[in-house]
Amino acid sequence: MKRLIASLAGAAALTVATLLSPALAASKGTIYYMVPTLLDEFQTGSVTAITKFMGDVGYDVKALNADNKTDVQQGQMNDVIALKPSAIILAAVDFDALKPQVEAARAAGIPVMIFDRQITATKSDLTSVAGTVEIGYVAADQIQRLLKEKNGAVKGKVLQVLGDPGDPYTLDIQKGFEEKMKAFPDVTIISKPAMQWEASNAGSIVADQILANPDIDLVFVHAAHLAVAAVASLEAAGKKPGDVLLVSSNGAPVGLDLIRKGWEQVEVEQPLFAQAAALAMFADKVVNKQELKPGRYDVLGLEGTLTNEAWGPNIKLPGAAITKDNVDDPKFWGNMKTPETPVKSVE
C-alpha cells in the first residue's frame, strides 16, 4: 500500500477517486477500476455505476483516474498488481500500450475485466462493450421512420457526421447504419468525419453542407456533443427546431436536453448502465476463475450476447432509442440516475 500511495503522490496531475460499495456484512474483496479520465459524464457515470453494481454482488470498488495519460495508467496498473486485488476493471487510455500490464496482472493470478474500450491484442477475463454496429442498426431504423414521416416514404438526403475515422467506435456505427440503409436507394447519404471528435469540426461540416446541399432532410451525428455544434450551425443558418431533423448517438445529457428543446428527434444510447451491470453479474465467476457460458443474458432489460472470442469472453449490449416520449426515463444514463434495482450474480 505504501508503494501505491508514494507512486500516486508523485504524479501531480493524478486524480484518485476511491468509492466504496454500500455497507456489507462481509465484503468479498476489492476490485480496482482503472478509469481513463473524469472529464465527461460517461466516465464519471461509469465510476458510480460500477461501484453500485459491484456493491450489489459483494465487492468494494476503488477507482483510479489516469487523467487521460497512458504512462500514468501504466504506473497505476503496476502498483495495483502489487496489491493483489480480487480483480481489475480496465478502461484503457491506450488500447495497445496497456497490453503488457494486462498480461502481467493475469500472470499474477489477478483477473482483468475490460470495460467499454475493447482490447483485442491479448486475452482478458471478460470484456463488456456496446454493440456499436447495432447502434448503427437502431439509428437506421429510426431514420427510416423519420424520413417516412417527413417525406411520405423513406427517401431524402442525410448528412452523416462521423467521429474520428481512426476510431472503431464510429466506423462500426457507420457500418451498421449504411448496411441497413442499402435497402433504400432513394436516400442519399453524405458522410464526413469530424477529426479528433472535435465539436468545432462537426459544426463546420454542418454549416458547409447546409450551404452546399440546402435540401438536407436529416443530420446524423455519432455523438451528442457533436449534435450541440450541429444545432449551433443550423441556428446560424436560420433554421428552427424540426426544420432539419437531427439524430445522434451515445445518450449523453446534452443530447437528451436537445430532444427536450425540440432540436433533436432521436438519441441512440450507448448502454453505459448495462455494460457496467454485466461486469457485476459475472464478477463471482471471473474472480473464482469459473467458466463463462456463451449465450444471451438479460442485463437491465437489454439482451446481452456473450461469446468466446480470441481475446476471451465478450459480452455485447445493444443500444436503445431515446425520443421525446421516453427522454425522462431514469434507465437512460444521460439522466444521471443509476438504477436502484440490485444486480444479481449469474449462477
Predicted confidence at residue 10, as pLDDT, reads 35
Per the structure, the complete domain to which residue 276 belongs is given by 2-124+271-318
Q: Which helix (H) or strand (E) holds 299?
A: strand 295-299
What percent of the chain is modeled with pLDDT above 90? 87
Are 136 and 265 contained in the same domain? yes
CB of 95 within 8 A of CB of 41? no
24-40 pLDDT tens trace: 447 999 999 999 999 88
The C-alpha cell that represents 183 in the structure block: 435497402
Co-location of 28 and 81 in the same domain: yes
Residue 34: CB atoms within 10 A of its CB come to 25
Inside any domain, residue 344: no
Shared-domain flag, residues 168 and 237: yes
Looking at the predicted structure, is the pLDDT value of residue 21 above 80? no
| Stated pTM of the model | 0.84
Q: Give the three-state DSSP class for 280.
A: helix
Grade residue 337 by pLDDT with cuts at 50, 70 and 90: very high
pLDDT-derived band of residue 3, with 50, 70 and 90 as boundaries?
Answer: very low
CATH number, position 285? 3.40.50.2300
Identify whether 329 is part of a domain. no
- Is the distance from CB of 276 to CB of 343 less than 8 angstroms? no
User: Are residues 111 and 142 located together in one domain of the fold?
Assistant: no
**Distance, CA of 195 to CA of 252 (rounded, Å):** 20
State the pLDDT at residue 319. Answer: 85
Considering the domain architecture, whether residues 280 and 221 belong to the same structural domain is answered as no
Residues 115 and 141 in one domain: no
Residues 97 and 11 in one domain: yes
CA distances to 117, 125, 154 from 278, rounded to whole Å, are 15, 13, 36
How does pLDDT run across 142-184, given as a tens digit for each residue? 999 999 999 999 999 999 999 999 888 899 999 999 999 999 9
